[in-house]
Chain A
């Protein structure tokens, strides 16, 4: 394990004890004026009702406290409104090989998916896609960009 990962893991551990909010969840967008007219199962960007993003440590796919909380919140929301479905998109930073990152991105998306299913959401309502390092949100080759790109985007529709 490299120093950075150790540092990050330590940070998460400390935070979960002290309750500080090193924010794994940064962005939230809402699109609630859109009305879903699409039949269950299909997905289009235009029908997303809300979307949130959770972040990951380098080369890791375990969820931090904040991410877990977000996943449980979404599970509760989906249990209440049974017409909702979710598409979870897993992403990585640019370091390492593309195909390995594609697999890593899926592990990240699956980590969220597992929490939803554990909390009573049917797997049929959960759709997981990995984009690996193919769709970065921040183009730089530095830790600031990389930390934004290591993410799972949770799109409820």
Chain B
């Protein structure tokens, strides 16, 4: 208890949070309507004016905004302040289609840094810590966000960025880093590299803040063991600000959404209807304090559940579950919904590494799914019968989880592209569109 950056906000009463949200939403809707023609047009099409929005109870009346809108309006179409007031941009990794560019005023960056500072303190950080930021710096929000948050906490910040694993480990040992921030796949890779070099004993790490990628509880345990830390989850997206939209506390029963800045809703991804409390659906965010790039009802495509039960950490902000999948990551194979996280869970349960690649293909008009898995010393044997036996068990476990047959291919260690950024988990060769 007590690791708060802004206790008066993080532990505010529900009534207080609601009051902030009501007031800020009304103001934000007006700001957007007055300054963003693209938005005004969308609202007019739906027959909504700022006068219709009197509190958060009216939020559902507003139109959604999606990644397609962001691409349509690229680059300046959604900016709500004069460009002279903007001080920075960030951009999504842009693996599909056009990049999305988000704008920030100095005020926006300050509030974003505050959110990251809350996350760092929730992970046990203080001004006596050495925060090792191995997220990429640049257009990606990861590096800048945690770097800014760490400054706010007053910790000694190492802006490592990603890559050059040997140098990372050297700095970690020499400068006695205590908190590491990076993607979970890079944390797992660092853990393996440190184990290979036999350097775990020389680390001073106590916790890690990992996000920007899907990861499972099993992967969390692997990382915690290999680095000797407690691993915390962090959630965010460039469109809304960056990392720190939500973060985990020591209770680790979900991530607290910074509700003084972001209103969260869960909707049915098919119909767009707001779902009742506790139901699983698509997460939608409204940023109520952003000046430069405020988004109203932005559809994240992340599938999750909100939980308003009182948290043992003392924070009162709503908690979101770890995303259970992304509607755009979701594969439909032979008509069955397949989430990569399901495959990862099976692999870890069966003793394989969480490094895998899913390859989907269409052969003779029929979908085929293949999962490439790296061989591990534990799974290896001189007996082919034993290896193929274990392989068969894995095929059966995948079938039980997914409901369809997936071919398993065992490959040599470190051959699946991983690493320093986001791991390529899915290759869809079907070319259906």
Q: Do A and B bind each other?
A: no
User: What is the interface of chain A, defined by CB distance below 8 A to chain B?
Assistant: none
User: What is the interface of chain B, defined by CB distance below 8 A to chain A?
Assistant: none
